Amino acid sequence: MQAMILERQREPLRPAELPEPVVGPGQVLISVHACGVCRTDLHIVDGELGEPKLPLVMGHQIVGTVVGRGEGAERFAEGRRVGVPWLGWTCGECRYCTSGRENLCDRARFTGYDLDGGYAELAVADERFCFPIPEGYSDEQAAPLLCAGLIGYRALRLVGDAERIGLYGFGASAHILCQVAAHQGRRVFAFTKPGDEKGQAFARQLGAEWAGGSDEAPPEEIDGAVVFAPVGSLMTTALRATAKGARIMSAGIHMSDVPSFPYEQLWGERALGSVANLTRQDGEEFMALAPRIPVRIEVEVRPLAEANEALASIRTGALKGAAVLAVGRATS
């Protein structure tokens, strides 16, 4: 099968012809139709996340159909459309797994990092960690739901019931979360790179009440924020914009250092935190919620062979919505 593989960190992916993956017990073999490209993939390539499986097939927002089943795999019939997220396996035994926090499992394995992912024509996945894909989304539109949507949704929940919410960094995840937050009746304040007027107009189209540069102060205090951009200073920028009781969550897996700040800025029951990974429950909830809103997904689709170009578009931010690779026989 054709794949784009990472052989060494800090080098571009290269095309490769790989043997078909062998489906193990409890796993499904998936014909990949589309795979979302995430900023985490960029952190893996750049070496900001250490010790990936190498060589590695990246990609943790996989949409495809089941074409084979390993021993004991019965959850999805052949031909069924499924999604594979970042959380690929958990131990089920550690103190996190047994307390409803499998996202923090000590021995978790992640798709497209510890396990081969979806930048390939075929993928295998543990059926317990796959999700059914809501109808009404094409394969390419559904792919970003699996990380950009899901982990953003978890971050939004951890912010609590903030009425005025700031979204810092308006990429794949924020463009989904903006719609979810507006649907929940929250007032959204979107922060883009300074001067990104196209991004700001896009945010307003998706329900943001106000959009401006991250160097601007919002027109009023915010009650909570999610920081999507991997820029530590945005945590303190957001903090200075908040009202008492606000929570500020970083939704990314890697971020530059957070600068120090006077304690009085944190005083007033403000909190800074992070969101790590997802639980299967997050996935089930979000996959049910997205079509009810309905969340509209804006994608820039490229063929699998252009995975490096798709990664570059995330790096430069020259992207409206989410980057997705079309693999095999995608719909759309």
* DSSP-assigned beta bridge partners for residue 34: 63, 326
Q: Using the minimum distance from each CB to Zn ion, give the nearer residue, 40 or 200.
A: 40
Q: Quick check: 150 binds Zn ion (CB under 5 A)?
A: no
Beta pairing class for 2-5 and 14-17: antiparallel
Judged by CB under 5 A, the stretch of 90-98, 116-124, 202-210, 264-272 that binds Zn ion is 90-98
> Considering only residues 5, 29, 33, 40, which one is a binding residue for Zn ion as defined by CB under 5 A?
40
Verify binding: residue 94, Zn ion, rule CB under 5 A.
yes
Part of the chain binding Zn ion (CB under 5 A), chosen from 112-120, 140-148, 257-265, 272-280: 140-148
Which of the ranges 30-38, 119-127, 167-175, 294-302 carries the binding residues for Zn ion, by CB under 5 A?
Answer: 30-38
Contact 135, 72 (CB under 8 A): no
Shortest reach from residue 93's CB to Zn ion, in Å = 6
Helices (H), the chain: 39-45, 139-142, 148-159, 172-183, 197-205, 233-240, 263-266, 280-292, 307-316
Query: Which stretch, 13-21, 96-104, 119-127, 170-178, contacts Zn ion (CB under 5 A)?
Result: 96-104
Site string for Zn ion, 218-257 (x = CB under 5 A): ----------------------------------------
* Smallest separation, CB 325 to Zn ion (Å): 14
Does 167 bind Zn ion (CB under 5 A)? Our answer is: no
Burial degree of 154 (CB within 10 A; 0-12, 13-18, 19+): buried
Question: Residues touching Zn ion: how many (CB under 5 A)?
Answer: 8
Name the minimum Å distance from CB 19 to Zn ion: 26
Instruction: Kindly report each contact of residues 296-300 with a partner whose C-beta sits within 8 Å and lies 24 or more positions away, as own/partner.
Output: 296/179, 296/206, 297/137, 297/141, 297/142, 297/144, 297/145, 297/149, 297/175, 297/176, 297/321, 297/322, 298/175, 298/202, 298/322, 299/140, 299/141, 299/143, 299/144, 299/323, 299/324, 300/324
CB nearer to Zn ion: give 111 or 179. 111
Nearest to 152 by CA among 72, 251, 76, 11: 251
Please say which residue, 38 or 227, places its beta carbon nearer to Zn ion.
Answer: 38
Q: For residue 57, which of 125, 108, 126 has the smallest C-alpha distance?
A: 125
Choose between 38 and 177: whose C-beta lies nearer to Zn ion: 38
Which residue in the set 4, 23, 66, 97 belongs to the binding site for Zn ion (CB under 5 A)?
97
Q: Which residues bind Zn ion (CB under 5 A)?
A: 38, 40, 90-91, 94, 97, 105, 147
